Structure 1
Amino acid sequence: MTQTCDVAVIGGGPAGSTTAYALAEKGWNVVLFEKEKHPRFHIGESLLPMNQPVFERIGVLDEVKRIGVYKPGAEFYDVNPDNPPHRFYFRDALDKNFPDAYQVRRDQLDEVLLRNAGRRGAQIFEQTKVTGVTFADEGQGAALTVTPEGGEPQCWQARYVVDASGRDTLLAGQFGIKRKNMRHASAAIFGHFRHVPRNPGPEAGLISVCWFEHGWIWFIPLPDGLMSVGAVCSPAYLKTRRGSTEAFLADTIALTPPHVRQRMAHAELVGEVRAAGNYSYQCSQMCFPGAILVGDAWAFVDPVFSSGVLLGMRGALRGAAYVDAELRGAPEAAALRDEFERVQKRSVKDFTWMIARFNSPGIRHLFTNPGNPWRVQEAVTSLLAGDVERDNGVRPRLMFFRGLYYFFSCLKPVSAVREWLRRRARVRAVVN
C-alpha cells in the first residue's frame, strides 16, 4: 500500500529537522525519515553566534543553552610554541549584537531539533532508511522506497522531496553530481576525552586551534567535562596509519607543540576514535524539479570554522520557503529558489577560500599577529561568527584581508611556494 505526504524529508540532522519544522509550520503534511535512532554520535559540536537567531526562530534557543557550553570565541596557536595564542572574541565582530555561542554534544542537539520538528507536526520515522527515489515527469512528485529496520520495504508518494541525508548524499549519488573539492583535500581523526584542562575563568569555553607540521588540531570544550580533540591533516598523512586509530591519534598528538602534548598528558579516551577520509565536496546542482538538496547533502567543507550546522540550518529555512512557494504555485517561487541557491553558494565560497589556505604561512601570520586596519580584524571575527550573509560591511573587508594575505605571502615566497606545492600534492594524492 502506498502512503502519501506533501513533503518527504530524508535525514534527521540539523538541516533535515529544520526543514521539516519550517514546512510543518506552514501546514504541510511532512514526513521525515532518519536511518538511525536518536540520540546518535555526530561530529561538529562547535556552534556559531549566528546560529542563535535560527534557534530562536524555531523555538529551541533555551534548550540549546541548557545543553551547551558557553563559547565566547576562539584562540589560535602558531606552529612556534614560543608565540602566545591570539584570541578572537565574538563581541569584537563588526556587529556587536551576537557576542557568544555554545558548544554542544551533537547527539543531544540533533535530538532536540528532531523532537522539535515532531512537536510542530512533522511525522518522524527513525531507523527507517530511504533506499531509492523515483521522480515523475515534469516534477510531478516522487515515489520513495523506504525500509524500516527489521521490516519490509514500503512505498511513499510525495509531492516534494528534501534531501538532507548528509554525507550519504543520496540524491547526489543517484544523479551523479557529487564532486570532491579539489581546492581543499583533508582528512580528520578525532575523539572525546576527559581530564583535558580548559582555560580558566570566562575563557573556559574557548575553542582552541593549533597548527602543527601536518595540519591543525582542535580542542572543543563540551558538557559533562568532555573535550572533543581532533586533528585535520592531509589524506596522504592519514594513509600512513598503522595499527589502531587510537594509537594513530596519540602518535599524531606526539608531533604537536609542547603545550598541546602537555594538555593531553592525563587525557582519558571516552568511546572510540573515529577517522574521516577526504570529506570536502560540493554538488553541481542544488535544485531539481520536485526536489532540493540542503546542508551536507549539497556540500561540506572543512570543520575549522564550525560552519556546517549554521549553513545547513539557514539553508534549510531558505529551502523551506522555496518549497512552500512551489507547493502553493506562488509566483515568487522562482525568486526564492534563486535566493536559496545564490546565498548558499556564496556562503560556502566565503569559507572555502580561507579554509583552502588555512595551513599557509600567510594565514597563520594574520591569525596570530592580527591588526585592525579598516576594521579588518572585526570582519574576520564576523566570519568566525558566521556573519557572511548580510550586507553589513563584512565582505569588502574580507577582500581586503585577502589582499593582506597575498602581501604577506610575497614577503615569504619560499614558504608560500612550499605550501602551494603541498596543496597540489594533496590534490594529486586524492585524484590518484
Structure 2
Amino acid sequence: MGTLGLALAAAVSPASAADGIPITPTQLFNGYRHCSTDADHPSYQGAGDGLVVEGVPGVTDSAVSRLVGVRYELWPVTDPTRITTVTRDLSTPGFEAPATIASSALADGQTYAWRARTTVDEAASDWSAACYVTIDDVRPAHAPTVTSPNYPPDGWTEGGEPVQFRIGSNGVDDVEGFEFTWHRDLPVIGTDIGDHGVPQPVDPYSDTRYFIRADALGGSAALSLIPPSGSGVMTLSVRSLDRAYHGSAVTDYTFRVSSPAPTITPAVPDPEFGEPTGFTLRPDPALQAKSPIVGYSVETVGGRSDRTFDVAAEADGTAAVELTLDGIYGENVQVTSRSANGWVSAAASWGTTYDTTPTVVSTAYPENGSSGGGSVTGTFTFAPKVKDVVSYTYTFNDGGPEVTVPADADHTASVDWAPAAEGWYDLTVYATTRSGIQLAPYDYYFTVS
C-alpha cells in the first residue's frame, strides 16, 4: 500500500480546498465486514493484528484529479473521551481508504465506536455516523458436541435415509453457529474485494453446504445430511464459530453405513464386442422401500469413449439402458441408484472381458517352433475373433516397416515373408474394424533355423 500511495502521489497533484468540498466517507467497513450503526448489535471482530477500518472518501468536484485524506476516530463506548485517531493520507476519492487501529488500543470484550471524515488540506467533511464493533480475540474454548439418533458411531447402519445430526455448543455461550464438512478440510471464511477496493462480505451461513446458524447464541443446531458416498466409513467434521468467526477445535463424528447396490442385468449373457446391448437396472428393494429410486448414474470404464451419464427410473424404480461395449480388452459398467430423498447407493459393477487379438497361422513357421531357414518364404494367415474386421497391420522385429493389408471377404488376410537370416523372430499384428477401432495386438513368436 505504501508503494501504491507513492505512485498516486507522483501522478496526482495535491488537493486544495478550491478544488472541491470534502464529502463524508461512505462504504464503511471494519475487518472487511459491514459496519454496524446499531449500538445494541455491534459487529464482532478479532483484532490480534489490529482492526482495519475503512471508508470511501469523496469531494464535490469529481472532475478534478486530487488526493485527499481520511481521519478515523475510535473510542470505548463506556468512555467517549478516550479517543484513538488514525489517518490515511494521499487517498484517492472514490476508493476505499483503509487504516489500521493498533491492537494495543483495543481490549478483548470491549465495545468501541468509530467514525470517519474526509479531509482536504484544512477543510473537513462532516463525520460519518458511528460504527460499533466489539473486540473478540478468543476462540470458543470447547469443540462442539455431535450426535446422531439414526446413525450411531458403533457398528454398521443400513443406509437409505438422511443422517440426522444434533450439534451443540458444549457450554460455550458465544457460539453463533457451526461449520461442517465431509471432506476434513473446512472452508476458509474470507471476503472478496470488489471495484474501488470495496469489500464484498457474504454471510457464511447463507452457504448451507458448510454452515448452519445455532438456534440461539450458545445454542445448538439440527442437520439432515446425505453422505457423500453410499457405503463405508463416514466422518463429519464440525467446529463451532463465534460471532467474530473464530473457530473452535474440530469434532469428528465417524459412523459406518452399509448401502445395498442396484443390480445390472444384460439382455444376453455374453454381449458381443462392438454390438449394442440392452441392460436392465433394478433397485435394491430396501432402498426402494425407504425412498423411491428416481434415477441411476452409469459409468463405463475400459471402452473407447468412457463416459458417465444419468438415466431416469420408471415408477417401479427400474431403468433400461443400451450400451455398445468396445473395450479391446474388456469393459466394466458401474451403476449407482439415486433415491428421491437424495440418497446415492453403493456402486454395482458388471464387467466382461474380450480377446480381440487376431489368430495367426503359418505352416512354414509354426508358433513357438523352430523351422524353415534363411530365404525360405512362409505364409502367415490372419483371422479375426470379432466381427467386421477390415484390415490387419503387422511388423516383424527384423527392422522391416509396419504394413497394413486389407482383409478378404471372409475377414481374413495372408502375407508372405522370407527371413533374411536365422534366429528368433516376433511378428506383431493387430486388426482394425470398419468403425476404426484398432484392436488388441498379438505377438507370434518363432525361430528360423
* Alignment TM class, shorter chain as reference: under 0.3
Higher strand share: 2
* TM-score, reference length from structure 2: 0.18
Higher helix share: 1
Greater CA radius of gyration, 1 or 2?
A: 2
